[in-house]
Structure formats: structure tokens, C-alpha cells
Amino acid sequence: MIANVEHNDQTYQIDLLSPLDISIPLRGDAQNVNAWGLAPPKITPHIDGDFVGKVSVGAPINFNDIAFNPHAHGTHTECVGHITEEFHSINQNLDHFFSLAELISVTPELQNDDWVFSKHILELALQDKKPTALVLRSMPNDRTKLSRQYSGTNPPYLLEDAVQFLVDIGVEHLLIDLPSVDKENDGGQLLAHKAFWDFDGQLRKQATITELIYVPNGVVDGRYFLNLQVAPFENDASPSRPVLYKILEK
């Protein structure tokens, strides 16, 4: 099914039957991707007296309770409410779900014992491109990202000047395959988050950060249309399912 999509007075064609899902699914076990020192998520049958919500043990239905943290346990999209005293909901702030996106694969550089993405790295990768959404695939890239235990590992992160560069060229939706745009333990500075949402200026309420994605190696760098699907939670962050669509040659 071919669809025509308009963006900035240009028309693009995408194949709606060929989605590229770049989310990590949530699992109720220790193999689930994890960060921030949390226990694994739980997906367990609801128990109420003699009732156990599992067909295999005699119930008429499967009826599970699910306990998880969106920031730690899988692909999630967050809004400025993640760092503000005032409540902001991703369900209210994100009000459009298709964007023209650029996928780049970038290797961090070592600075002061940290692996980081600098402004220079992003400038080289993007050249003169100014996408509305940026999908950042960190290198090296492999399927261990689907179950990686990030706590205490000091994963790569974005420097403040790199994020400010993205804001300056008009990026509104930033997607990364790491647990945070900021350093795991930065003493609460959150420099990248604050730069992206202009925390000390006019809050960019429409802007979103999506973390813990996974982009398989078979998905090539370049332009796509992004469908950012977010579960309707009234919360600063929500589990999400970003999907890329190739732009067809006319």
C-alpha cells in the first residue's frame, strides 16, 4: 500500500506495508533491557483469592498484571515533564506522529574516560541536513542491545554542545539506542536534556526524546518517515513504538 505524504511543500511516497520497527519489546524477565539499577519488569497472572489469571492453570482468560518503569525497561518517549517541577504529559505534548527523519550511524569518541557524541561528530554525519527527527544508531551495533544491562556501565552519551547543535538546526524529535542522552551519573546536571528542551528559556514542549531504541544493521542510513507511536499514558514518559518507513524513489 503506497501512501503520499506531504512535508514542507514536498510530496513523498512511502510503503505502509513495509514498516521498520525500531522499538525494543517489554518482557517480564531478567533478559529484558534494563538501566538505572532497577529490578526487571514483571508480567505475572493476577491473583485474587482462588483466582489465578492464567488459562493453563484453569482460568477462562489470561489476565496479567504488569509492573515496569518506562525510563528503565524499554523503548520510551519522554517530554519536558521529565525534568520540570510542573507536570507535563507526553500524551498531551506530543500531538502529531509523523515526521521526516534522518538515520545516522555514529561512533562515540573518548573524552576524559567517557565515550561521548560531540557536536563535531554530528556535524560530520549530518552535513547540511536539517531533519525534524533524528535517529541516532551508536556504533558498534549488535543485538545484545535488546537485552543489555546498562546499570553501572557508564554508557556513551551526548555532550551539551552536540544537543544544542541539533536544536539549532531544528530537530524536534531525538531518538537514541542508549538509556539516556546524558551521562549515567552526572550529579543531576542533565545538560543534554536541558539543552534539548531549552530548560532555562522558552520550553520546547513539543520536542521529544526517545531512548532505548534498537536499529538493526540491515536498516541503512538515510531519510525515512518516522511514525512515533506512544501509549496514551498521562505521564512524563510512555512506552513507545517508533516505526520507520522508507521513502520510495519516484
pLDDT tens digits, residue range 74-108? 999 999 999 999 999 999 999 999 999 999 999 99
Q: In sequence order, what are the residues at sequence separation of 6 or more whose Cβ sits closer than 8 angstroms to the Cβ of residue 105?
A: 125, 137, 138, 139, 141, 221
Residue 172: predicted pLDDT:
98
Q: How far apart are the first and last CA of the chain?
A: 15
pLDDT higher than 70, residue 139: yes
Residue 250: predicted pLDDT:
63
Closest Cα partner for 181 from 219, 237, 241? 237
d(CA 5, CA 247): 10
Q: pLDDT: is 249 or 144 the higher one?
A: 144
CATH fold group of domain 2-25+70-246:
Glucose Oxidase; domain 1 (3.50.30)
Residue 10: predicted pLDDT:
85
| Residue 140: cis peptide before it, omega within 30 degrees of 0 | yes
Q: pLDDT tens for residues 169-226?
A: 999 999 999 999 999 999 999 999 999 999 999 999 999 999 999 999 999 999 999 9
C-alpha cell at 94: 506530543
pLDDT higher than 90, residue 1: no
Q: For all residues of the chain together, what is the average pLDDT?
A: 96
Mean pLDDT of 230-237: 98
CA dist 90 → 3, 22, 97, 122, 136 (Å): 27, 19, 12, 26, 21
Residue 12: predicted pLDDT:
84
pLDDT higher than 90, residue 3: no
Q: Phi, psi (5° rounding) for residue 126?
A: -90, -25
pLDDT higher than 90, residue 69: yes
